[in-house]
Structure 1
Amino acid sequence: MARPRILYVTDLSYPARGRRYGDEDVRLTARLRERFDLALAHPLDATALMDAFDAVVVRNSGPVLHYQAAYQEFRTEALRRGTRVWTQLTGLADQIGKQYLLDLTAAGYPVIPTVDRREDLHLLPAADRYAVKPKQGADSIGLVFATPEELATTPLGGVLVQPRIDFRHEVSFYFVDREFQYALYTPDPERRWELAVHRPSAEDLAFAQRFVDWNRIDHGIQRVDACRTREGDLLLVELEDLNPYLSLDLVDPATQDAFVAAMTASITRLLA
């Protein structure tokens, strides 16, 4: 029987800080070839190639702000043609920018308080410094910190403002099709990409699951990034539903196997 044909979108040469996108995707595609016929493509080539495949898997393709027009064309054409894309293009989070941080703040979710208008700055808790980040940002590109005095004269068009949080560590929860797979955290918050396995509590998992269930994705990967405050509470930093790096090399072989099995089953369901 013919095997499903998968176009796997990745930028093997993207110079990510503290991560090796290419290594992760080479290892992952080697496993996926056990079930699918698979070809790798650069994100700039995805639109031209996708009609020859049964589905497109978007993985470590780098921040789309580096090729925003090409990414928007891919989204538009995939939706118009009914192309099966994994992760599905129905997400409400990083797939379409950072508006969700404003929406979740307004809805009372446990997220770092976020505003985008000067007249709303008073709604933020007092802080010695504030993070100012582009609404279309990624990978900390364009992120700056400002004191309250500096914030008073900082242009706020197209950016988000958040108080800088004093936290114990950051923690990321990885999901496939709304099902939790594993979690990693930063033992030293000053060394963001030196991660270790985190054994989440029931409360931790409930926190992460709430955001995954809020997002309207049935097939694909979501990574819930959070910070733990000095008081022990978790606050959402980012809900990555576009092309989250997985740090699979940091988990044990059994967890890797379980993740690959979940991903394979999810793509198979999408094709069905």
Structure 2
Amino acid sequence: MKHVAFLSAACMLKDNPEARKDYWEYDLEISALAPACREAGIELVTRIWDDPDFDASHYDAAVIGTCWDYMQKPEAFEAALETIAGQTRLLNPFEIFRWNQRKTYLKDLAARGAPMIPTLWRDRADAATIDAAFEALGSDDIVVKPVLGGGAWRQARIRRGEALPSPENLPIAECMIQPFLPAVSQEGEYAFLFFGREFSHCARKLPAAGDYRVQSEYGGREEIHHPTDEELALANSVLACVEGDLLYARIDMLRGLDGQLALIELELIEPYLYPQQGPDMGAAFARALKALI
């Protein structure tokens, strides 16, 4: 029996008084993954990534899982993963993590032909920067996101003429600015899940009424989406832009103003895997993991 550490965060444990609102997503995910891995001869053991007693050398591999507090302490997270990668096989690999943790990786994917949403890259999200972004993007409705972050953390939708959100609700430093795309409220986002580069399933993510954020902690919900051949080919073309061994990948896409799907993110670090929309995802994950260890 192989032993693999599934890295998570203390804030994802339901008994923690400071648990996140979406802690239950860890429960759903590990409940789908652990039994399938056990059938494949792999014991998947949850370990907290910043637990000082965690020694990854006792495991055959370590999988970056629901480490959903890393954006609050990115330097510590990177240092921990570098240490873990020196003790065992890290999945996805450390070099993939370093590239994918900053959303500037989207520049690389754009250069390789991936379909993109128009994006401005700026050093700060202050009033002058945001005012100029309305003009540069030709839009009265924009979304500002931190370059390093996830789960809509410190992300804001801003309409021209409205007061800016408070500083704690804006990116701390570097940011990316995009036009707001109405399709997110009308059609939702699409999350294509791959394990070992093989397509597993697709979730359509829909925000709560009156919101645009699709994450469950803001009232978002998901449903199964059966992609067309064209949609799947597009997702595969994005994945083909990245080299190397990948245990998992999640490709998030949204319909742009031109009516075509465009890339929001390529999640290669700690994506939620949407187990409820992929009834066979546990077995697919286990097969991919077994092939890599």
Tell me what 2:205 maps to.
186
- Measured in 2, the distance between the counterparts of 1:179 and 1:51 equals 29
Task: Find the counterpart in structure 1 of residue 61 from structure 2.
Answer: 55
Runs (4+) of structure 1 exceeding 3 A deviation are 16-19, 92-95, 102-108, 120-125, 147-152, 154-157, 186-191, 229-232
Which amino acid in the other structure matches residue 116 of structure 2?
Answer: V
Residue 74 of structure 1 deviates from its aligned partner by 2.0
- CA separation in 1, counterparts of 2:253 and 2:38? 33
Using the size of structure 2 for normalisation, the TM-score is 0.77
- Secondary structure in 2 matching 1:244: coil
Which residue matches 1:5?
3
In the alignment, the residues of structure 1 paired with residue 160 and residue 287 of structure 2 have an alpha-carbon distance, to the nearest angstrom, of 49
The 2-side partners of 1:16 and 1:29 are apart by 23
> 1:84-127 CA distances to partner (integer Å, 9 max, x unpaired)?
11222332787321112233345553111112146x95895411
Aligned partner of 1:164 in structure 2 is 180
Residue 100, structure 1, aligned to residue 105, structure 2: yes
Q: What value does the CA root-mean-square deviation take over the aligned residues?
A: 3.1
Deviation of 1:31 (Å):
2.6
- 1:265 corresponds in structure 2 to 287
In structure 2, C-alpha distance between the alignment counterparts of 1:9 and 1:33, rounded to whole Å: 17
Query: Do structure 1's residue 132 and structure 2's residue 144 form an aligned pair?
Result: yes
SS in 2 for 1:91: helix
The 8 Å contact of residues 195 and 285 in structure 2, kept in 1 or not, is answered as yes
Q: Is the 8 A contact 2:5 2:63 kept in 1?
A: yes
Give the secondary structure class of the aligned counterpart of 2:117: coil
Q: Report SS of the residue matched to 2:67.
A: coil
What is the aligned residue count?
262
SS state of the match for residue 51, structure 2?
Answer: helix
Q: Distance in 2 between matches of 1:268 and 1:155?
A: 39
Corresponding residue of 2:217: none
SS of structure 1 residue aligned to 2:153:
coil
1:212-227 matched pairs, under 5 angstroms: 212-227=239-254
SS at match of 1:90: helix
SS at match of 1:26: helix
Is 1:78 the counterpart of 2:84? The answer is yes
Flag the 1:197–1:18 CA change in 2: closer, same or farther, 3 A: farther
Shift of 1:170: 0.9
Q: Write the distance in 1 (CA, Å) between the matches of 2:241 and 2:43.
A: 33
Cα deviation, residue 163, structure 1: 1.0
What is the rounded CA distance, in whole Å, between the counterparts of 2:205 and 2:53 in structure 1? 36
Stretch deviating more after TM superposition (186-195 or 49-58):
186-195
Mapped contact 1:185–1:197 kept (Cα < 8 A): yes
Q: Shift in Å at residue 246 of structure 1?
A: 1.3
| Partners of 1:105 and 1:112 within 8 A in 2 | no
Distance in 2 of aligned mates of 1:45 and 1:56: 14
- CA 1:92–1:229: 2 relative to 1, 3 Å: same
Question: Secondary structure at 1:38's aligned position in 2?
Answer: strand
Find the aligned partners of 2:171 and 2:268 in 1 and give their Cα distance. Answer: 28
Residue 238 (1) aligns with residue 257 (2): no
1:118-137 residue CA offsets vs partner (Å, 9 max, x unmatched): 6x958954111111111112
TM-score of the pair, normalised by structure 1: 0.82
Q: Which stretch has the larger CA shift, 195-204 or 44-53?
A: 44-53
Whether contact under 8 Å (1:94, 1:239) holds in the other structure is no
> Percent same amino acid at aligned positions?
24
Residue ranges of structure 1 left out of the alignment (5+ in a row): none
Question: Do the aligned residues in 2 keep the contact of 1:91 with 1:216 (CA within 8 Å)?
Answer: no
Amino acid at match of 1:269: A
Give the conservation status (yes or no) of the 8 Å contact 1:219–1:267.
Answer: no
Structure 2 alignment gaps of length 5 or more: 14-18, 123-128, 165-169, 215-219
Amino acid aligned to 1:165 = L
